[in-house]
Amino acid sequence: MDKKLTLKLSEDVIENVKRYADTHGTSVSKLAEAFFESLYVPQELELDEDLKRIILSPAPHTDNPREEYREAVMRRYQ
C-alpha cells in the first residue's frame, strides 16, 4: 500500500529533481522511493565490509565500483 510523504526542500532542489525525473522518464516519487530503498540493508544480510563501505559511501570513489571492490579484496589477501 502506498502512502503519501511530505518533504520540505529548497525550491532549487525541487526544480532540479523535477527536471532530472522528467529527463529520465520517471517521477520524483519513484526517485525518492529508489533512494530510500537503497538505504535499507536487511540485518540478516551479511555483507563483506569492503562491499558495505562501497555501497553505503555517499559517492563512489571511482567510476567503477566493481573494480574498487576487486582491488579491496586483492589488497586484503596479499
- Is it the case that residue 8 has pLDDT exceeding 80? yes
pLDDT digits (tens, 9 = 90+) for 25-63: 999 999 999 888 888 766 666 677 777 776 666 665 567
User: What DSSP string describes 31-74?
Assistant: HHHHHHHHH---TT----HHHHHHHHSSS-SSS-HHHHHHHHHH
- Is it the case that residue 72 has pLDDT exceeding 60? yes
Here the contacts of 42-48 (C-beta below 8 Å, separation 24 or greater) are 48/73
How much is the pLDDT for 44?
Answer: 62
- Give the rounded percent of residues in the chain with a pLDDT score beyond 70: 77
Q: Where are the domains of the chain?
A: 10-40, 42-78
